[in-house]
A and B are shown apart, each in its own frame.
Chain A
Amino acid sequence: MPEYQKFEHDVLVVGAGGAGLRAAIEASAGGVTVGLVCKSLLGKAHTVMAEGGIAAALGTVNSADNWKVHFADTMRGGQYVNNWRMAELHAKEAPTCVRELEAWGAVFDRTREGDILQRNFGGHRYPRLAHVGDRTGLEMIRTLQDYGIHQGIDVHMECTVLSLLKDGDRVVGAFGYDRQRGGFLLFEAKAIVLATGGVGRSYKITSNSWEYTGDGHALAYNAGADLMDMEFVQFHPTGMIWPPSVAGILVTEGVRGEGGVLRNSKSRRFMFDDIPEAYRHQTADNEEEGWRYCQGDKQARRPPELLTRDHVARCIVREIKEGRGSPHGGVFLDISWIKEKIPNAPEHIKKKLPSMYHQFKQLADVDITTTAMEVGPTMHYIMGGIRVHPETQMSTVTGLFAAGECGCGLHGANRLGGNSLSDLLVFGKRAGKFAAAFAKEHSAGTINTDQVDSIARSALEPFERGTRSTDAQGPYQIQHELQVKMQELVGIVRTEPEMLKALEEIGKFQKRMRSVAVQGNREYNSGWHTALDLPNLLTVSEAITRSALERRESRGGHFREDYPNKDKAFGEFNIIARRGPGGEMKVVRQNIPPLPAELKQIIEEQQK
């Protein structure tokens, strides 16, 4: 029987990005012992990459802003398949969560009055994103990390969870391994919070880091939890496209918030050519008005570059497809043009977008203060995830909670920029609070040691195959091929035949995965780690594809060429992927509960 080290925590949090750290802090404040497991070193999680800001209706720049406007913006951005209760809680609680960060040492950019400065972002009616230049994610994760290390949380760095352990219907622990040394770890816990982030590594062009292999999604799914809205994948409109080695790296929406414009090879501001009806009355109809909006003119309407991400991404794809793209197959994003409008434009750009300036200078030899950037869509975020109770964040499995990107509900069919960081705070906090309460009310469960033994054995199989097999498969090759197929077949524009083909390919990868082999020993063995991530990537890829096949309409981040219009009937339910009794993936429809009259009224008022 393989050996393992054992740890006991009342609450175990898996993932140490914004949501995981916030959950751990809150659980610890709830008076229980907390363990925090993370794949990377503490403070390196993907939250660090967030650039633009945290959306919260603080109303420091425009006092007309309040939770109702934020709620209505979020629902409209999500095309009304959001969980309305989560959207309500999020809009109400985000301001407090941002203020909390300040109390813990975060240093946001300031208004002239010395309050927290807020910036414009796509789909938000008023300037709403609290930010620090274009490195808001770093500020957030560092603040949570530096506060969290004094809260008595046990941190297990560079460890990965392989499987959740159940006692009957309830989650009672997790089994994983230490990436540095390769030893196995058993975590006994009364409640578990999954905060593992997204699934970007299922796609070839992504802004996501290697960690984003859908671990939490797959762990929950395998434990019997529901995955919801998996067809809603967000392709951020502006990723780097050149040189090839940096393709996919994010170019913040903040560039457009500060006045950056999108142009095609004919120098046309093509975003003016297609403005959706629902946004027409709030969108500028000329370039001058758009610029005034970016300069803080409260009478001006926003430029069409700041429409929602799904729409901007599709417009970019259209320009490229119709032959009006840039030399390397993207479009132009230009911030340097503002030198026509303001003095000292280069200094202003460097001050407002320092990371973007350095990123292009260092990686692409492009000076964004003088030259337009070449950009194209990049897989950025998954709106879908583990289905949770809107208030407690508990999944459909008892004792198992989820928060952040691996959770689901807030964003509906499309997430607004800035709503992710606030999501992490609001629902990370809630998950931590309710997980702690659950842990206090329950005693420890029983760990099934046979199950533990079998997980450990199967985790070691790739090594055994590595020493004997002749038809052994390399883990990197399978991962790469999967990414290429998902990009091609289940990308921004989808069709039924292509997605059926994708399912067939996923089936083949699942077979090949069973003969994946690795060499070397268990210490920091990247090949082994990649092999162990593969099942998760395949599970989420299958869930995305099956859910996308089921949704025969186009809505938000999900666009079907064979069903290009929104269909009202599909707005009545969410799609759920669930493990069937024989281990096969089932897809079912779940009706969205009716919107309460007072929330309905808010939405109607805001549409005026």
Chain B
Amino acid sequence: MTSATFSIWRGAAGEGKFFKYTTEISEGMVVLDAVHKIQAEQANDMAVRWNCKAGKCGSCSAEINGIPRLMCMTRLNQLPLERPVTIEPMRSFPSIRDLVTDVSWNFRVKKQIKKFKPRPPDVADGSWRMQQEDVDRVQEFRKCIECFLCQDVCHVLREHHKHEEFIGPRFFVYVAALEMHPLDTENRVEELAKAKGIGYCNITKCCTKVCPESITITDNAIIPLKERVVDEFYDPIKRLFRAIRGQ
């Protein structure tokens, strides 16, 4: 049995420091296993949020050696173990304690996005017909497990703290899933431009890189939404048309 050392940030409300723990490791272990082992054997009260331990719920988001990742899907054999592995909470959200952050902002943001509004049913029994190729793109977006790693890495939130003006990559994906849903009849383009701050995104694709579900956030969600905003909202002719119609 070999051992490895982990440098884990511990503290509350933003005040804290890194503590070193050395523990035995075995084949196939992931970072979350090591954290649990340390918790059970050395630090019973260490705070860590997790749930499914299978990469499906998106609860155990953290920064491992500085990179936003799911602890349950990061295998130790993918990390250099000759030096301590640093584990710290997501930095774009307020800290609660140790590795747990307050992500409630995300839930408030989602609630402010206009909800799904389907067209009337296609068939008398109240059901709809959609072709698979028409739902493929939306299904890609709906793979999102809401781990908020894309929000964590996004510099608009992380460095510029635009939480009040910018909804972040997760919710652009959410809006894209609604806007491209074959049944949806709502229009969210104006709010995207105004309240949701899509203009702040300068397509550095950091979010796409960290997405554990491999959703091509920037290319498939954000850029098409930006195009819609430009086409429908900043197009001078449409603008004039809107002004005349008093919209």
Q: Report whether B56 and A149 are in contact in the complex, using a CB–CB cutoff of 8 Å.
A: no
Known: A150-B115, A243-B28. A114 touches B131 (CB 8 A): yes
Known: A107-B139, A355-B56. A363 touches B75 (CB 8 A): yes
**Cα(A86)–Cα(B57), bound, Å:** 30
CB of A599 within 8 Å of the partner chain: no
Q: Report whether B47 and A518 are in contact in the complex, using a CB–CB cutoff of 8 Å.
A: no
What chain A residues lie within 8 Å of B116 (beta carbons)?
Answer: 104-105, 146-147
Q: List B residues 43-74 near A (Cβ within 8 Å).
A: 44-59, 73
Q: Report whether B73 and A362 are in contact in the complex, using a CB–CB cutoff of 8 Å.
A: yes
Query: Smallest Cβ distance from A267 to chain B, in angstroms?
Result: 25
CB of A242 within 8 Å of the partner chain: yes
Q: List B residues 24-50 near A (Cβ within 8 Å).
A: 26-30, 33, 39-40, 44-50
Residue in A closest to B74 when the chains form the complex, CB atoms: A362
Query: Smallest Cβ distance from B93 to chain A, in angstroms?
Result: 12
- Identify the stretch in B121-129, B187-195, B200-208, B230-238 within 8 Å (CB) of chain A at 4 or more residues: B121-129
What chain B residues lie within 8 Å of A46 (beta carbons)?
Answer: 51-52
**Cα(A104)–Cα(B39), bound, Å:** 41
CB of A64 within 8 Å of the partner chain: no
Query: Smallest Cβ distance from A251 to chain B, in angstroms?
Result: 11
Q: Report whether B28 and A209 are in contact in the complex, using a CB–CB cutoff of 8 Å.
A: no
Which one, B26, B28, B48, contacts A363 given CB within 8 A?
Answer: B28
Q: List A residues 78-122 near B (Cβ within 8 Å).
A: 99, 102-105, 107, 109-110, 113-116
Q: Report whether A475 and B110 are in contact in the complex, using a CB–CB cutoff of 8 Å.
A: no
Query: Smallest Cβ distance from B81 to chain A, in angstroms?
Result: 15
Q: Report whether A115 and B129 are in contact in the complex, using a CB–CB cutoff of 8 Å.
A: yes
What chain A residues lie within 8 Å of B53 (beta carbons)?
Answer: 209, 246, 249
Q: Report whether A110 and B28 are in contact in the complex, using a CB–CB cutoff of 8 Å.
A: no
Q: Report whether A135 and B96 are in contact in the complex, using a CB–CB cutoff of 8 Å.
A: no
Q: Report whether A526 and B48 are in contact in the complex, using a CB–CB cutoff of 8 Å.
A: yes
CB of B138 within 8 Å of the partner chain: yes
Query: Smallest Cβ distance from B5 to chain A, in angstroms?
Result: 18
The interface residues of chain B, by DSSP majority, are classed as loop
CB of B130 within 8 Å of the partner chain: yes
Query: Smallest Cβ distance from B107 to chain A, in angstroms?
Result: 7
CB of A139 within 8 Å of the partner chain: yes
CB of B12 within 8 Å of the partner chain: yes
What chain A residues lie within 8 Å of B48 (beta carbons)?
Answer: 526
Known: A132-B139, A243-B29, A245-B33. A358 touches B55 (CB 8 A): yes
CB of B223 within 8 Å of the partner chain: no
CB of B245 within 8 Å of the partner chain: no
Residue in A closest to B129 when the chains form the complex, CB atoms: A114
Known: A49-B56, A49-B57. A528 touches B45 (CB 8 A): yes
What chain A residues lie within 8 Å of B30 (beta carbons)?
Answer: 245-246, 363
Q: Report whether B44 and A44 are in contact in the complex, using a CB–CB cutoff of 8 Å.
A: no
Q: Report whether A138 and B111 are in contact in the complex, using a CB–CB cutoff of 8 Å.
A: no
**Cα(A149)–Cα(B113), bound, Å:** 11
Q: Report whether A40 and B131 are in contact in the complex, using a CB–CB cutoff of 8 Å.
A: no
CB of A180 within 8 Å of the partner chain: yes
CB of B4 within 8 Å of the partner chain: no
What chain A residues lie within 8 Å of B142 (beta carbons)?
Answer: 107, 132, 138-139, 142
**Cα(A116)–Cα(B126), bound, Å:** 13
Query: Smallest Cβ distance from B222 to chain A, in angstroms?
Result: 20
CB of A42 within 8 Å of the partner chain: yes
Which one, A104, A115, A524, contacts B98 given CB within 8 A?
Answer: A524
CB of A48 within 8 Å of the partner chain: yes
Residue in B closest to A116 when the chains form the complex, CB atoms: B127
Query: Smallest Cβ distance from B83 to chain A, in angstroms?
Result: 22
Query: Smallest Cβ distance from B139 to chain A, in angstroms?
Result: 6
**Cα(A392)–Cα(B67), bound, Å:** 50
Known: A362-B75, A363-B73, A364-B28. A102 touches B127 (CB 8 A): yes
Residue in B closest to A47 when the chains form the complex, CB atoms: B57
Query: Smallest Cβ distance from B125 to chain A, in angstroms?
Result: 8
Which one, A135, A363, A474, A526, contacts B47 given CB within 8 A?
Answer: A526
CB of A527 within 8 Å of the partner chain: yes
Q: Report whether A474 and B139 are in contact in the complex, using a CB–CB cutoff of 8 Å.
A: no
Q: Report whether B129 and A147 are in contact in the complex, using a CB–CB cutoff of 8 Å.
A: no
What chain B residues lie within 8 Å of A464 (beta carbons)?
Answer: none
**Cα(A69)–Cα(B164), bound, Å:** 54
Which one, A42, A242, A475, contacts B44 given CB within 8 A?
Answer: A475
Q: Mark B128-164, 1 if CB is under 8 A from A, else 0.
A: 1111100100110011011000000000000000000
**Cα(A358)–Cα(B48), bound, Å:** 24
CB of A602 within 8 Å of the partner chain: no
Q: List A residues 212-264 near B (Cβ within 8 Å).
A: 242-246, 249-250
| A and B contact pairs by CB, cutoff 8 A, 14 listed | A41-B107, A48-B52, A109-B139, A146-B110, A150-B115, A157-B104, A210-B50, A244-B28, A245-B28, A245-B30, A250-B54, A476-B44, A520-B45, A526-B48
Given A49-B52, A150-B115, A528-B45: 12 more A-B contacts, CB < 8 Å: A44-B58, A102-B127, A103-B118, A105-B178, A114-B129, A137-B56, A157-B107, A180-B100, A243-B26, A246-B30, A476-B44, A524-B49
A residues with a Cβ closer than 8 A to B are 40-46, 48-49, 99, 102-105, 107, 109-110, 113-116, 132-133, 135, 137-139, 142, 146-147, 149-150, 157, 180, 209-211, 242-246, 249-250, 355, 358-359, 362-364, 474-477, 480, 518-521, 523-528
The 8 closest A-B pairs by CB, nearest first: A243-B28, A520-B45, A114-B129, A527-B44, A524-B47, A105-B116, A476-B40, A110-B132
